[in-house]
């Protein structure tokens, strides 16, 4: 069942990622398909969160890995700001920055389980800071309310597969309860559930079981593919939306 390496799965997730963002281009995707695409792509963010946990576990330098995430988060923040200023359109605004979310999650891991004792010897203070960072990242970053708990659960139960999967189910149910509202028709109720569908992150599980634990292609291009593809495809889509 474990047929694909990390690079192959990242390519697939990158394609799904595009589906989740092209709705901003006027006339390209109708509202029904937009909701369907949004639901189908709920696995993407948490897949890259899972890869961030893998990176944290196997990297040669955890601080170096964290610095790289922070650097690209700042790069995207600056790029988003520059494009928002140049386009100056209320209909096209870029706020995506998954790097910031991943950096927040990895920092929580570093403080709670990693090399945080090198800077902060006091365990109680490190745990307090980890909780504080986790709370700020959960409510202050893209998808943080889902991805920060997902990162923590994935790492905490990395050697207890059934417990990890059960924790995902519990998180999915909680998010479903938070999203569920009854509207005048079942079609409207279903449409809103598909749009507010973070609870569907659980669809990442099949991809996790297809992952064979290997990195795959190891070149400079493959190493930085996602770091570059993610901001560039969002910026290109935003420019096309503005021009149309």
Predicted pLDDT at 39: 86
Q: Is the pLDDT of residue 132 over 90?
A: yes
Which residues, including other chains, have CB under 8 Å from residue 12's CB and lie 6 or more apart?
Answer: 4
Mean pLDDT of the chain: 90
What would the mean pLDDT of 214-221 be, rounded to a whole number?
A: 85
Predicted pLDDT at 156: 96
For Cα atoms 226, 232, 235, give the angle at the middle one, nearest 5 degrees: 140
Q: pLDDT band at 26, cuts 50/70/90?
A: confident
Lookup: tokens for 169: 């189910």
Q: If 0-12 CB within 10 Å is exposed, 13-18 middle and 19+ buried, where does residue 27 land?
A: exposed
Predicted pLDDT at 181: 76
Q: pLDDT band at 63, cuts 50/70/90?
A: very high
What would the mean pLDDT of 122-148 be, rounded to a whole number?
A: 92
Q: If 0-12 CB within 10 Å is exposed, 13-18 middle and 19+ buried, where does residue 101 land?
A: buried
Q: If 0-12 CB within 10 Å is exposed, 13-18 middle and 19+ buried, where does residue 138 land?
A: buried
Q: pLDDT band at 46, cuts 50/70/90?
A: very high
Predicted pLDDT at 32: 79
Question: Regarding predicted confidence, which is higher, 191 or 162?
Answer: 162
Which residues, including other chains, have CB under 8 Å from residue 126's CB and lie 6 or more apart?
Answer: 111, 112, 116, 117, 120
Question: Regarding predicted confidence, which is higher, 95 or 89?
Answer: 95
pTM of the model: 0.92
Predicted pLDDT at 220: 84
């Amino acid at each position: 069942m474990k047929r694909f390496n990390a690079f192959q799965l990242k390519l697939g997730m990158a394609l799904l990622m595009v589906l989740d963002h092209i709705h901003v281009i006027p006339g390209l995707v109708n509202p029904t398909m937009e909701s369907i695409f949004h639901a189908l792509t709920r696995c993407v963010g948490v897949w890259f969160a899972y890869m961030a946990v893998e990176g944290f576990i196997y990297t040669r330098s955890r601080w170096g890995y964290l610095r790289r995430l922070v650097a690209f988060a700042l790069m995207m923040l600056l790029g988003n700001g520059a494009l928002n200023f140049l386009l100056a359109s209320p209909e096209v605004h870029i706020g995506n920055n998954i790097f910031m979310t991943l950096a927040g999650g990895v920092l929580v891991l570093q403080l709670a389980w990693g090399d945080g004792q090198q800077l902060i010897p006091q365990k109680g203070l490190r745990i307090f800071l980890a909780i504080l960072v986790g709370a700020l990242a959960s409510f202050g970053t893209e998808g943080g309310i889902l991805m920060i708990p997902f990162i923590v659960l994935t790492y905490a139960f990395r050697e207890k597969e059934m417990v990890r999967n059960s924790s995902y189910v519990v998180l999915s149910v909680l998010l479903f309860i938070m999203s569920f509202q009854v509207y005048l028709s079942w079609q409207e109720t279903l449409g809103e559930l598909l749009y507010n569908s973070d609870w569907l992150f659980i669809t990442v599980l099949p991809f996790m079981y297809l992952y064979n634990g290997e990195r795959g292609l190891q070149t400079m291009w493959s190493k930085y593919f996602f770091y570059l593809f993610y901001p560039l495809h969002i910026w290109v889509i935003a420019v096309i939306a503005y021009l149309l």
